[in-house]
Amino acid sequence: MKSEYLIGREKECEKLSSCMKADSAQLIIVYGRRRVGKTFLINEYFDYSFAFKLTGSFNLSKEDQLKNFALELERKTGKKYDVPKDWLQAFNLLRSYLEKLSKKKKQIVFLDELPWFDTHKSKFLPAFEWFWNDWASTQRHLVFIVCGSATSWMVDKISNNRGGLFNRQTSRLYLESFSLRETEQFLNKKGIHWSRYDVAECYMIMGGIPYYLSLLNPDLSYTKNIDRLFFEKKGELWDEFDHLYRTLFTSSENYIKVVKVLSEKRSGYTRNEIAYKAGLSTNGKLTKILKNLSDSGFIRASSFYGNKKKETVYQLSDYYTSFYFAFVKDKYGIDQKYWSKAIDNPSRRAWAGLTFEQLCKDHIAQIKNKIGISDVLTEESVWSIKSDEDLGFSGAQIDMVIERRDRVINLCEMKYSVREYIIDKSYEEDLRNKVDSFARSTGTNKAIQLVMITTYGVKNNKYSGLIGKQVILNDLFM
């Protein structure tokens, strides 16, 4: 049953309810970006009532993790246990304990931060595979939940396991960040009632990450909150970056090199460009880094429209990381009221414009709903062309192309503004050039429709007639 404290997560709760009704043992995998609320979801859904719960600790030795296991078992049974010598013995003790519990009701076991148990030479994973296959999978009343923030480990070792856990999972829950609507609901529950413009800007800094949002002070304005969390000395999020990457990825320095490179060009780079700029080899290690970052939601892989020969473009998609490189990394301690004072700063305006594009891409479902194509199969991509005088092309770029099954292509322009956006003669010419260059270079015979996505709409004037559909900030909150 969904807790009154949970915002959103309807689909996840439906999956959990289905597992609770099943007449077979359940192995549920919960994963997603660190701080996204995985543990909170499981705790709230099951009302903190578990037959057994154990949380892994970062950089703790196998021996100390096993001590924690013994202590938790002692709390549940009231008996004294020797520390298991290995994970095989630990899971055998867990089995003995669970066998004594009633089989007339579901028994919930929750292992949180599972990747942190799997230390070097710990042999944790083979022991868990043995435990599940030899006994747990046969217990119809058992619901076993494993959770982890190291998404790449969870995907490789559990979800895509080709060993003892192959096809053993009964449900996978990937938790995404809150949407704008869910973020607004979360803030309202905290007693924060900002304008949607401020909520959107806050989202463009923190993303819809519940933990970050929970740090906001209802008694302070949006800008003062950002100063307090990021720019005051020892602010709660000023050192989050190192902790975030260090706890998620082995050899985190190479991951940081990649996201730093991508932070320098929001339109993104190809794999070869990333390797060159980050000083990394174009080998399997880079492939794994890009996959892990993508699986964890830190980067987005985008395809080029209509050109399968072009390489995939990778873009930085984690809001916190983008903000960190843009404003925190080199400005910490310079001015504790930096964000409040930077309201008219050109770099802040440029950041807002680029990040708004990302905000739109993360709310494609809301955009499709607004322009009336929510039930139409679509494919999203990017497109660009370099200037070519011989072919008569001026350089042009479109950050989001929506190709529809109904033979219409939407070319989306995203503009962030504090008021109605005004299209002047120069921008109208730029828009016409984009449409013309796209149509001629791709050779498409589909209808082309321009969509403007803005904060407060486009001001109606003699240059605005080219716009086919409009989406405003309020629509992204739907």
Give me the pLDDT at residue 1, please: 59
Cα atoms in the 13 Å half-sphere on the side-chain side of 117: 27
| Token digits of residue 79 | 């008996």
Cα 219 off chain centre by: 28
Give, as one character, the DSSP assignment of residue 447: E
Question: Which residues lie closer than 8 Å to 241 by C-beta, 6 or more apart?
Answer: 320, 321, 324, 328, 329
Structure confidence by residue, pLDDT tens digits, 237-256: 988 999 999 988 988 999 99
Q: In what order do the strands lie in the sheet with 408-415?
A: 378-385, 396-404, 408-415, 447-454, 469-472
CATH of 363-476, one of 1.10.357.10, 3.40.50.10210, 3.40.1350.10, 1.10.443.10: 3.40.1350.10
Q: Under a CB-based contact definition with an 8 Å cutoff, are residues 44 and 210 in contact?
A: no
CA angle 89, 95, 98 (to 5 degrees): 145
CATH topology of domain 10-175: Rossmann fold (3.40.50)
Give me the pLDDT at residue 393, please: 73
Q: Which parts of the chain have pLDDT scores under 50?
A: none
Q: Under a CB-based contact definition with an 8 Å cutoff, are residues 57 and 64 in contact?
A: yes
The rounded distance, in Å, linking the Cα atoms of 96 and 311 is 54
The rounded distance, in Å, linking the Cα atoms of 346 and 326 is 12
Long-range contacts of 374-380 (CB under 8 A, 24+ apart): 376/404, 376/405, 376/406, 377/404, 377/405, 378/402, 378/403, 378/404, 378/405, 379/403, 380/302
Residue 132's H or E segment, with its range, is helix 124-134
Residue-level length of the chain: 478
Class of the domain covering 241-326: mainly alpha
Structure confidence by residue, pLDDT tens digits, 378-401: 999 999 888 877 666 778 999 899
Domain boundaries, the chain: 10-175, 180-238+332-358, 241-326, 363-476
The rounded distance, in Å, linking the Cα atoms of 198 and 188 is 13
